[in-house]
Amino acid sequence: MIDFMTDQIQEFLKAVCYRPLKEDWATENEVLFEYQTLRLRLFRNPGARKTVLILPPQAGHAGTIADYLPDQSLVRVFLEHGYQVAVTEWLPATEEYRNLGIFDYIRLTDIGIDKVMKAVKARKIALVGQCQGGWQAAIYASLYPEKISGLIVAAAPIDLEAEDSFIGDCSKIPDNCYRMAVQSFNGVMPGGFMLGGFKALQPHEHYFNKYFNIWGLCLREDMQGLERFKRFTNWYESTQNLPGRFYLEAVDWIFRKNSLTHPGSLVIDQRSVDLRNIHCPLVLIGGSKDHITPPGQVFAMERLVSSRRILKLLSPGGHIGTLMGNQSLKEIWPRAMAFLAGTGQAQDKAFH
């Protein structure tokens, strides 16, 4: 019994003290283009006639969430459904790029889309925005509707007033507090600083349940479970910095002023952002247990656009689970792809 417990305690301590490693992409790809904070990755699919660009969350984590594991990959789901797939890998911001703002990321997205369409000889492209990438995708699709064949927005804050959230409340904190934080870090916003804020939303989960669950894995000698924990830790705890200007503009324009709901109030490169310019098929995905972006905030986009074909899907998971959880990848995302292909039904369906 003593030897048994010694083994379990050793495994527990190794897991608790585990230092995250940077993970690579799960699927073979090529770097099509790299400039400033954009590294554009292309996952070729010979014979595929459809093309999609995925904008991963721009919230302090790596874009590998889109290609997490060989058997848990949004990239591979799109490949299996006949798409050429590209992903914008947003690189950590250094002080050199601390003044890049939302306009710059829309500009980089536009450059990336042109590069992808040229590489695969496509005239239009489907666009997917995850979390913070969702409002970026919405802005882009409203400014360049002629390039977008379909749009998927998942777990993204589009209308902060549609459903209350703690992050929405935090946006009401005086602007000087956010500016002082950015200034304290020489013009960049550290990913670790933001991660601490996300963890504070669920302190019991991150500072108690996490260790309780690890101990349970050790007692059951569930080595696969421990490996899954380490793999998630590699992604979740390996944070990256954002340009301070981008961060402050997002807090002010997207969260505090709720600008996407007020046509013309947000101006990008002297062009007014108006979601009514979006006419393409639209899929909105929310998470029933999402404590960061409640589903109402993304579903509200339905009334802001001019699209006639709209599908709303409710994932059974939380924020991250909606974006890359196994159940969501198997049940939700394939329906979104079928809808864009014209074979899905435009009606609301919820999973409970």
Residue with more model confidence, 234 or 350 = 234
Half-sphere exposure of residue 96: CA atoms within 13 angstroms, side-chain side: 6
| DSSP structure string for 155-169 | S--S-TTSS--HHHH
93-102, 188-197, 264-273: which range is least confident on average?
188-197
Confidence (pLDDT) at 164? 86
Question: For the CA atoms of 312, 315, 320, 321, what is the dihedral angle to 10 degrees?
Answer: -150
End-to-end CA distance of the chain: 42
Nearest to 182 by CA among 100, 244, 254, 93: 244
Which residues of the chain form beta strands (DSSP E)? 30-35, 38-43, 50-55, 83-90, 125-130, 148-154, 188-189, 242-243, 267-268, 271-272, 282-287, 310-315, 349-350
Mean pLDDT of 242-265: 96
Query: Residue 26 in 3-state DSSP?
Result: coil
- Helical H runs in 163-222? 166-170, 175-184, 191-201, 203-204, 210-219
Q: How far is CA 150 from the centre of its chain?
A: 17
Query: Residue 128 in 3-state DSSP?
Result: strand
pLDDT band for position 7 (50/70/90)? Answer: confident
d(C-alpha 197, C-alpha 37), whole Å: 24
Residue-range domain boundaries for the chain = 2-350
Q: Which residue has the tokens 């904008």?
A: 55
- CATH 3.30.565.10 corresponds to the domain 2-350: no
Residue 349: pLDDT over 50: no
Residue 89: pLDDT over 70: yes
Residues 6+ away with beta carbon under 8 Å from 171: 160, 251, 255, 256
Confidence (pLDDT) at 345? 58
Nearest to 242 by CA among 195, 173, 293: 195
Question: For the CA atoms of 198, 249, 61, 30, what is the dihedral angle to 10 degrees?
Answer: 160
Mean pLDDT of 4-12: 79
Q: Give the global pTM.
A: 0.91
Q: Per residue in 281-332, pLDDT tens?
A: 999 999 999 999 999 999 999 999 999 999 999 999 999 999 999 999 999 9
Q: Per residue in 162-190, pLDDT tens?
A: 998 878 787 778 888 899 999 999 999 99
Confidence (pLDDT) at 346? 53
